[in-house]
């Protein structure tokens, strides 16, 4: 049996969450969220506003998404399959502004990711039928929802693709990091 624990990453406040997990002959029990436990681990912003899931085929890349006004924090977990989850720090004044971190999340490793406000988020699926669950903290604002190009030449995310990326039309025609800095400056 494993208690809920947290691992720091290279980006401030981007946290890997190891959920409470118990398994026996009946199956398993997993708890990935408890408000008071998160607070004890130093994660105070936990007012979940919405929850949704995505299903993806192999080599789908979604993102890098963020809101320019009232950014959302997120808690992300894989329900089926495996993803390479990428976050880019867009927080003005942050020591890691403009850097990215990639973390593998899967059904097998059961890790969750707490993504702080001010990070662009995206992922690539390793397998068909990959299902990802998002818990979003903060209201969704369609008018300020935008993205940075997933293959931006300045950020240079090293996506572990095996074949050609499958990307939506919207995700192919987005601003670059340089355009983001010139237009918005930071979050």
**Which positions are annotated as active-site residues?**
65, 134
As a whole number of angstroms, the distance between CA 20 and CA 157 comes to 31
As a whole number of angstroms, the distance between CA 123 and CA 109 comes to 16
Q: Give whole-number Cα distances, 21 to 17, 42, 78, 131, 168, in Å.
A: 12, 21, 15, 19, 35
How many Cα atoms occupy the beta-carbon half-sphere of 101 within 13 Å?
20
């Amino acid at each position: 049996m494993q208690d809920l624990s947290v691992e720091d990453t290279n980006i401030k406040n981007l946290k890997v969450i190891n959920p409470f997990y118990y398994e026996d002959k009946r199956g398993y029990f997993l708890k990935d969220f408890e408000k008071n436990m998160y607070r004890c681990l130093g994660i105070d912003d936990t007012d979940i506003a919405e929850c949704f899931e995505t299903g993806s085929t192999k080599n789908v890349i979604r993102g890098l998404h963020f809101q320019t006004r009232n950014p959302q924090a997120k808690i992300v977990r894989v329900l089926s399959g495996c993803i390479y989850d990428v976050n880019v720090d867009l927080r003005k004044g942050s020591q890691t502004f403009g850097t990215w971190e990639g973390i593998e999340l899967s059904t097998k490793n059961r890790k969750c990711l707490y993504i702080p406000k001010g990070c662009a988020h995206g992922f690539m699926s390793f397998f068909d039928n990959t299902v990802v669950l998002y818990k979003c903290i903060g209201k969704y604002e369609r008018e300020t929802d935008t993205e940075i190009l997933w293959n931006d030449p300045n950020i240079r995310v090293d996506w572990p693709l095996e074949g050609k990326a499958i990307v939506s039309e919207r995700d192919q025609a987005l601003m670059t990091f340089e355009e983001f800095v010139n237009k918005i400056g930071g979050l």
